[in-house]
Structure 1
């Protein structure tokens, strides 16, 4: 027992030392030679493993930019400052799934436990870029009056300066212009917190109509938010009534059903929303409307089976699919959904192009992973490698990888919808959202309403990812290993799926709670009656 306690104490002490060492490393000034080495490592990994590195920029131009970056580093700097110099150069590749992250401060186990007991009430807000303003689009907290307010300052920083600064640190796919503004607003707090560190409070200076005011948001104990306060009547018998056996069974059944529905619809923690939503809309409530916020969680097969059975039984002839602010997710889900939207055999995507025959193994073993995770990856490699080689092939010097969604002659679902489809899109319709949109657009299966998608019409580099930490600065570099594309391509390379009817929401729309894209579709359907 004593030996066990010594071992536990040693592990805890090692963890504390590791946290202190990490925090000291990212805060110190790195030597010029160390910084230049990290530039070389980042570019080497991209050249070695990224399958479409020179799709939107020539090799000569990218070589020049990385070489210029190295030459510009003439004095020591911190990891955070190095990140701000490296990220804009990597963004020149114009591949939206490449991400760079400044290393953040680590916390001890005690600190993490304390932090977990708090929640940031500003996280209940959802932001959106509309015209030239960042506004509060939704509030999942108690103060719904903030909806429609324009953000002027975050603490003492101008929102315009913040967004312009962050726009340089990442890219969309290709030359698209709609993604950056939309993505920054949607992830405003993540960007701001990443560069400002762990904050206990944030103040927003807001404008609503003619009123300018400041609202301060704090990290507060979760118990103080979730606890319901009730008045106590001192004269009332406070004995808690015991539930009967039947009532207990009913409560268990209700809890089980809620858990089942949360999985099917994809409950989003911290909000009152689901990932997948369905209802009938319109004057006669016969227009099917499906809002999909992402393709990343929940039991999607049960959801789509249920939804299209309802559509079939209702004899609805019109379906609206809302992909606005849908940043993507699982390839298998969009391939499955597509079988409900077409009535003929098809190939959803082509075989993935990759620069390695072992994308899964390259993704599994990473410098960013804990030692034990990489060790298990090495142990599993005798199994992983033969399987990967079985799915890979090489033709004309290009390596291809067969994915389940690249199967030829996929059959439509027997419940496939045969009516008219309208798809709502915006700049945050990215990745998987754009892949399914490409298929629907090219096959003339749907009418698109909104603004150009942030994701590329001609595919994107995603699938499996390479995660690594640069050796000296600990800056994180992540990028896709597979070119995923539909069988359809357009000659206008570097742009997203463009709408058949362009509609850009205004600040007035948001203040009045108007959804102009949805209302346009419903008005068109009314005209066709």
Structure 2
């Protein structure tokens, strides 16, 4: 028995090593033109099969021409990374922000990953922002803060302005919106550079600050090892805690864990997803900053926050959705029930391309085999549930979420005046809840047009498909998620009532111009 288990283990190790080797060879080799054309046909075929609004913003004739033109331009063999650079701009012409294409990256052995984890790349400690057509260092998670406020001029021999223009062609917002491009390309610049150039051990970057140029080389350095715990037998004896003290420590740890779950602790940045407080200890003005609708247990946070608003008889609520990329429909529906004064229907039935969308989502070629087996076992339940919730109308299929039911506001809903801060990075779910607040004239919007469309977006669940030859992966939404309200023309975001764009000078002075305007407006209303 032991020998059989050992042989099985060795077999899986050999298969895994072989798979890793094959993948790395596949993405680095030059692919035949016929194979590249096959991948182009495959990706377009997948989009036609699963995306319910493929031709919403770009006509079929134009998209057909774009994909055919791409095939005509590829006349010599290229590797997977170069193919990504050609394919991504064509896919972006669909103009659906939830479609994304990943570059082909090397796989590493367990030993290699372990060694990489022992190092950190200094460049990744920088946070960027794109303002006034320039890339700036907004923040650093490293010890060197002197670069904050510096303009990034060159990386190696590439002008950053050229890189920005190039990267903007490789993704899209919903429809014809442009504000997402400037915000998103700045916030995710490091990721775009990695997809473009691949793994590097060092980068020579040219900065500009106060009309002076300086160069800094970023390296992949070993992380500082944590000091080893001292042997208690060789040092003075550890102080014994009483049972009451141990109990108090356990309760404190438990309380901290609950707080982190409720507020959605982000370990990487050491900050919280959900934040709430009163402005300058004035109970009539409250500020709620929501970085996303993705992590943590949200219900208790909103229950407690709106109970405080009710108790303090707060008149003004500032809801900050800037740089909120979206998340769960259930969470924004729950939040909206505390913001509205009237009965509401949060979303319409979602248009889909299949009667069993969740089974299609689970049975992708990127789904692990173990999950496919499990999905196969429970598929009868999934199919029945999908068929019950799917209906056909006017030749189209629609899937019904729980949030399509008419609901009433929460008993402790906020009745005062709401201000919503938005920008180009307000996307997906944050745009959806903004649509409701805008359409019902429930709030005053300050900032810039959201990156997500007013009339909805294709998201919900995602199909991730790996191209057979180049191994690039495309992710696409499978459900049209939209509020009952619509605007004309289609293809634009929720626009602010008061447009305020941040400037470089604002950042240097650590001034929040949008929030400042709101506080001044409240002061006048008082």
After superposition, where does 1:373-412 map in structure 2 within 5 Å?
A: 373-407=371-405, 409-412=406-409
The equivalent residue for 2:479 is 482
After superposition, where does 1:162-181 map in structure 2 within 5 Å?
A: 162-181=163-182
The equivalent residue for 1:49 is 50
The equivalent residue for 2:466 is 469
CA deviation map 1:473-522 (0-9, x unaligned): 11111100100000100011111011100001111110110000000000
Out of 487, 490, 504, which is 1:507 matched to?
504
Which segments of 5 or more consecutive residues in structure 1 lack a partner in the other structure? 230-236
CA deviation map 1:212-244 (0-9, x unaligned): 3233333344444x6599xxxxxxx96254241
Report the Cα offset of residue 285 of structure 1: 5.5
CA deviation map 1:120-146 (0-9, x unaligned): 343333211111111122233333343
Could you tell me how far apart the structure 2 residues matched to 1:141 and 1:426 are? 27
Out of 270, 288, 291, which is 1:290 matched to?
288
What is the TM-score of this pair, normalised by structure 1?
0.95
Out of 273, 286, 291, which is 2:271 matched to?
273
Moved more, 421-430 or 113-122: 113-122
Could you tell me how far apart the structure 1 residues matched to 2:125 and 2:251 are? 30
Out of 308, 311, 336, which is 1:310 matched to?
308
Asked whether the 8 Å contact 2:85–2:196 carries over to 1, the reply is no
- 2:217 match: secondary structure: strand
Could you tell me how far apart the structure 1 residues matched to 2:245 and 2:144 are? 35
Asked whether the 8 Å contact 1:282–1:522 carries over to 2, the reply is no
Could you tell me how far apart the structure 2 residues matched to 1:55 and 1:269 are? 38
Moved more, 284-293 or 356-365: 284-293
The equivalent residue for 1:255 is 253
Could you tell me how far apart the structure 2 residues matched to 1:218 and 1:304 are? 43
Could you tell me how far apart the structure 2 residues matched to 1:143 and 1:374 are? 47
Out of 259, 262, 272, which is 1:264 matched to?
262
Report the Cα offset of residue 378 of structure 1: 2.5
Could you tell me how far apart the structure 2 residues matched to 1:319 and 1:91 are? 37
Q: How many residues end up aligned between the 2 structures?
A: 521
Could you tell me how far apart the structure 2 residues matched to 1:452 and 1:243 are? 59
Counterpart check, 1:239 vs 2:240:
no
What is the TM-score of this pair, normalised by structure 2?
0.95
Could you tell me how far apart the structure 2 residues matched to 1:123 and 1:243 are? 42
The equivalent residue for 1:448 is 445
Counterpart check, 1:131 vs 2:132:
yes
- 2:142 match: secondary structure: coil
Out of 351, 356, 359, which is 1:353 matched to?
351
Counterpart check, 1:429 vs 2:426:
yes
Counterpart check, 1:109 vs 2:110:
yes
Asked whether the 8 Å contact 1:292–1:323 carries over to 2, the reply is yes
The structure-2 alpha-carbon separation of the partners of 1:223 and 1:4, relative to structure 1 and needing over 3 Å to count, comes to farther
Asked whether the 8 Å contact 1:291–1:321 carries over to 2, the reply is yes
Report the Cα offset of residue 180 of structure 1: 1.1
CA deviation map 1:358-394 (0-9, x unaligned): 1111111111223333233223222211110010001
The structure-2 alpha-carbon separation of the partners of 1:351 and 1:227, relative to structure 1 and needing over 3 Å to count, comes to farther
Asked whether the 8 Å contact 1:124–1:270 carries over to 2, the reply is no
